[in-house]
Amino acid sequence: MKKLKLVLTMVTAAFVLLLTACGTSETSGENGGKSEEKTLRVVTDAAYAPFEYLDKGEVTGFSVDFINAVAKQAGYKVKIENVGWDPLFVEIEGKTADLAISSITINDKRKKTYDFTVPYFLSTNKIMVPKESPIKSAGDLKGKTVAVQNGTTGQEAVEKMFGAENKNLKKFENNNLAIMELKSGGADAVVADNTVVEEYVKNNPKDNLVVIEDTNAFEKEFYGVLFPKGSKLRGEFDKAIKEIMENGEYAKVYKKWFNIEPDLTDIKA
């Protein structure tokens, strides 16, 4: 009986070893062949429709299709995980993830700690308010309660206008919570990326919200894919992004989500 147990343990051990060996050879990609695509760990904050959001528990959106197209072009597979906004930066800095895609604006502050690819999307902050709101421009936000996602360029822009000590600024872990605060009357406005608030207003007509543009208050921003500083993958992804912009793949993904042809002049400038 004892002998049988020993044999069984040995067989199991051998099997586990074999599995581990297969696993490593599959992901090591050392010979760099297309047949052995390495799977990269991608992190995101999936509460930013239509870019990245959860649909029946699956991360979906423009960013998902875009990064899949880029990775494929570069010869990689990706596995996207919804970890949240603040944690995604921690993961990239700590190199526990290979890259992040999350409508992340390229800016100098972030560039000190992380590397970005070339820009792939043009954006700007806009203001979302109830239809009957007296707020008509960014200046009107003075003294009003503004809901933003913590650690975003939206937060930064509002703080720049009214000071970082602004007591009327409500910061949330994700943008959906900021929108909920507006809907429940706990805030007078939400400041977030234009495509996100525009899409929200369009898809939720019963909420009676409108979007206000103020080009004097909010700058043009560009999204980039975020990498740990010094990541060797960054160059490969830069190349792949440029290639899918040339070969029509980018336009295909863009049209699927926005129903129009992309204007690449701004992005490439």
Q: Is 102 in the site for ligand ARG (CB under 6 A)?
A: yes
Q: Is 133 in the site for ligand ARG (CB under 6 A)?
A: no
Query: With binding defined as CB under 6 A, does residue 98 bind ligand ARG?
Result: no
Q: In the range 234-253, which residues lie near ligand ARG by CB under 6 A?
A: none
Q: How far apart are CA 74 and CA 249, in angstroms?
A: 13
> Does 103 contact ligand ARG by CB under 6 A?
yes
Residues 35, 257: Cα–Cα separation, whole Å: 30
Q: Give whichever of 106 and 209 is closer to ligand ARG, judged by the CB atom.
A: 106
Can residue 85 be called a binding residue for ligand ARG (CB under 6 A)? yes
Q: Distance (Å, rounded) from C-alpha 158 to C-alpha 214?
A: 12
- The smaller minimum CB distance to ligand ARG, of residues 36 and 161, is found at 161
Binding of residue 195 to ligand ARG (CB under 6 A): no
- Using CB under 6 A, pick the residue from 91, 98, 193, 199 that binds ligand ARG: 193
Which range binds ligand ARG by CB under 6 A, 15-23, 113-121, 149-157, 239-247? Answer: 149-157
- Rule CB under 6 A: say whether 91 interacts with ligand ARG: no
Of 115 and 193, which has the nearer Cβ to ligand ARG?
A: 193
Residues numbered 41-60 forming contacts with ligand ARG, rule: CB under 6 A: 45, 47-48, 52
Give just the sign of the alpha carbon dihedral 138, 141, 145, 151.
positive
Spell out the long-range contacts of 110-116 with Cβ–Cβ below 8 A and sequence spacing 24 or more. 110/226, 113/89, 113/229, 114/89, 114/226, 114/227, 114/228, 114/229, 115/226, 115/227, 115/228, 115/229, 115/230, 115/231, 115/234, 116/224, 116/225, 116/226, 116/227, 116/234
Q: Is 149 in the site for ligand ARG (CB under 6 A)?
A: yes
> CA–CA distance from 217 to each of 109, 126, 193, 212 (Å)?
19, 9, 13, 11
Residues that bind ligand ARG (CB under 6 A): 45, 47-48, 52, 85, 102-105, 123, 149, 152-153, 175, 193
